[in-house]
Structure 1
Amino acid sequence: MTKIVWKVVRRIGGKRFSAVINQEWGGVRYSSPGEITSAPESTKLLAFKTKETAVRFGTSLGDGFGCKYEVWKAKAKNVTNTRTLSTSGDGYPGFVAFWKGKRNGVWRGEAPDGTVSCSELTLIKKVN
């Protein structure tokens, strides 16, 4: 089933990336609007239930990575509420272990309000 979600991305050199995770650490490069972006194997993509929570999250990031943040309306598949996230410092292997349930509570942190996870996401329209 497809649902509407709101995705925060970083804009670097005309490309869209995960908001807080560098690509070298398992962050995702998002496809062009209208094209599907699938979650890397054994992980999920993250987004927000509402535009308001996505904008609040994007605003809270400031310019910490020296780039522009964008909020997009998106279609997503297999959407579920997400209350905890990996706080692992070991990049992609830590995220895979988290989504497979192989990390204990030390590696989990509270997800921002309104966070959802999904298996794939299609950016539809930039809203800020």
Structure 2
Amino acid sequence: MAHTTNYFDTFIEVAEDCPTEHAQEPPIAESPSIAALHYRLIAEQPYSRTSDDVIFETYALRAGVAVDDALERALFFSMGRPCLRSSPLGKRYGWGLHHDDQGRVALVARESDEYALRAADPDIAHTRAMRSKRA
């Protein structure tokens, strides 16, 4: 059975304990962090990738696997994987994640008007990024 991390018509708001009031780009290091890879994959082409695409491509880039390897992708999703609710983008860096009706994702800065509109939109599902610390 294949698992998925995709959301549809959903807005993932920043975590309740997110330490920043303004969205920040994750720092770029010699070896890119998960946050930096998530940011790059989503910011460079908004609404072009699903959550599954972002999660698998991040894994593939870090593991040295071909991004277009269908067998490797099938094996990767043969077990459950953490979704973008666990991404550092929403937990630490102040980014909301909007998933459209086809599951494609884009970043929304916490302090933006778009964030306020998405957070108040009754026509989409709402959830939050996971907290970094227990309540």
- Tell me which interval the TM-score lies in, with the shorter structure as reference length: under 0.3
The structure number with the bigger radius of gyration is 2
Q: Which has the higher helix share?
A: 2
Structure with higher strand content: 1
TM-score by length of 2: 0.25
Larger RCO of the pair (alpha carbons < 8 Å, separation 6+):
2
